[in-house]
Amino acid sequence: MIKTVLITGGNSGIGKATVAGLAQKGWQVVFTARNHQKAESVKREIIAKSGNDKVDYLIVDLTSLKQVRDCAETYKKRFEKLDVLINNAGVCLPEQRITEDGLEESFQINHLSHFILTNLLLDILEKSDDPRIINLSSAAHKAGRVDSDYIQGMKPYNSFRTYADTKLYNILFTLELADKLKETGITVNALHPGVVGTNFGKEFGGIFNFLYTIGKTFMITPEKGAKTSLYLADSEAVKNITGKYFVRCKPVDLKNPHITPENRRKLWEKSMELSSL
């Protein structure tokens, strides 16, 4: 039976490589993007290269919680099932930006929008024979912290601190959701894709852009960065594995002292409050 996957941020970088990899395997692949023209171009490119015409997309801007809710509803109207959800989209921004929902943008994109999308798709995921949720975190989570007063990022802004915090939230969300879903058969795992040479962080410009261009020589390709996502989506070896963090297709221990049951609970409660679920 053909499997169906939804991948956020699938029109570039690791997301695009994941879309291409699962299309090559014959999956029905649906990805999200903000721009119709770019999404259509990626769709045509992947269909041409893979010979798989079961590739489609949904337009959604993760800085709008309304669009995220609409995306979940549209998906359920257009597609009969969902076997795997890959929460791939992420940003690291040069300055603090506030969304139309009154939230710090990187917090909303990296965590809250995926929190909402995932919860709204649990009902269709549960119908799958082998439902999986995969959250892209980062090794940057090791530097992340949880401050109960500033979970939504509304504090003196530091780009990399905020990014690290949101990547920690990806881990906390993964662990808490895995625990809540342990009786449903839905598995939830997180991963670090590696240091990948993409357009990530391109908005910084200046000296950062110069250093990033030099450093890109030592980074892995998006295709290599997608390997763990593809492994968690497709491998029988992880069919019943849940609540783990993977690096290079292997589970590794989590050592950040902020990864506690109490912080998992606090993040969940705050996310529920902000999303009005």
Q: Locate 263 and state its tokens.
A: 């912080």
**Over the stretch 144-174, which tens digit does the pLDDT of each residue have?**
999 877 787 667 889 999 999 999 999 999 9
Which of 163, 169, 231, 245 is an active site residue? 163
Name the residue range of residue 213's domain: 4-275
- The dihedral over CA atoms of 233, 81, 122, 119, expressed in degrees to the nearest 10, equals 90
Other beta carbons less than 10 A from residue 194's beta carbon: 20
Cα–Cα distance measured from residue 90 to residue 109, given in angstroms and rounded to the nearest whole number: 6
Cα–Cα distance measured from residue 187 to residue 195, given in angstroms and rounded to the nearest whole number: 25
- Specify the pLDDT at position 218: 52
Q: Facing residues of 224 across strands? A: none
Counted domains in the chain? 1
Cα–Cα distance measured from residue 208 to residue 157, given in angstroms and rounded to the nearest whole number: 17
Residue bearing the bigger pLDDT, 121 or 197:
121
**Over the stretch 94-125, which tens digit does the pLDDT of each residue have?**
999 999 999 999 999 999 999 999 999 999 99
**Over the stretch 172-184, which tens digit does the pLDDT of each residue have?**
999 999 999 999 9
Verify whether residue 157 is a known catalytic residue. Answer: no
- Specify the pLDDT at position 155: 75
For the chain, the farthest-separated pair of C-alpha atoms sits apart, in whole angstroms, at 51
**Over the stretch 230-272, which tens digit does the pLDDT of each residue have?**
999 999 999 999 999 999 999 999 999 999 999 999 999 999 9
Residue 237 CA, chain-centre distance (Å), reads: 22
CATH of the domain at 253: 3.40.50.720
Q: Locate 180 and state its tokens.
A: 């809540």
Is pTM beyond 0.85? Reply is yes
